[in-house]
Amino acid sequence: MIDDGKPRDEAAEKELEGVPEEFLNNGEDEAEDETEEGSESEAIASLRSDLEAAKQDVLYAKAETQNVRRRMEKDVADARNYAATGFARDILSVSDNLDRAIASIPEELRSDEKMKGFVTGIEATQRELAKVFLQNGITRIAAMGLPLDPNQHQAMLEIPTNDEEPGTVVQEMQPGYMIKDRLLRPAMVGVARKPD
């Protein structure tokens, strides 16, 4: 027997002789087993919470990756769609000068046989330029007779008139253009107002 410092009942000890030691520990092993089971369940609970946290981290990482991929696809599409914006803005002045050149040709020169081919060539160039603009998604902004739209029109002056409602575009000084759904250049316009 183990001497644990407690007083012994000798008769009881004789009865317990031959009984294996593990049965004589008065439930100490059971308490140890319960303690071990408690610590195991705590460890399992901790592992489960770590697993849930890891699953959440994976879901967030997947969502972030998908968002980055979508942003990159949009950036690539925008770059493809609007790559010519700078060039288109520069070529608009060429188009404006071509329009002015055609508008400035006097009627007598248009009917002159010697000048007819020249005028026809300039007009053909103007049509070809308009066709190329259209193929690249560059469209002219409608202005005349429409209400002023600050997203597409830039009011340069007010013109007193009773013929149109106030705020209506009555003069276009420079045409405006869109490239697909973006403003390339606003139309510079004169807007009607009530006379004093």
Residue 130 located in a structural domain: no
Residue 62 located in a structural domain: no
The tally of domains found in the chain comes to 1
Nearest partner of 185 among 47, 86, 100, 104, judged by Cα? 86
> First and final CA of the chain: distance in angstroms?
122
**128 token code pair:** 């070809």
- Average pLDDT over the chain reads 84
Residue 174 located in a structural domain: yes
147-190 confidence digits (pLDDT tens): 999 999 999 999 998 888 899 999 999 999 999 889 999 999 99
Residue 153 located in a structural domain: yes
Residue 38 located in a structural domain: no
51-61 confidence digits (pLDDT tens): 999 999 999 99
Q: In angstroms, rounded to a whole number, what is the distance separating the alpha carbons of residues 96 and 128? A: 14
- In this structure, what CATH number is given to the domain that contains residue 190? 2.30.22.10
Q: How crowded is the C-beta side of 190, counted as CA atoms within 13 Å? A: 11
Residue 92 located in a structural domain: no
**pLDDT on residue 1:** 47
**Max Cα–Cα distance, the chain, nearest Å:** 145
8-48 confidence digits (pLDDT tens): 566 656 665 665 565 555 545 555 556 667 788 888 989 99
**pLDDT on residue 105:** 86
**How would you list the strands of the sheet with 182-185, edge to edge?**
138-140, 177-179, 182-185
Domain range holding 170? 139-196
Residue 160 located in a structural domain: yes
Q: In angstroms, rounded to a whole number, what is the distance separating the alpha carbons of residues 188 and 157? A: 9
**187 token code pair:** 């139309």
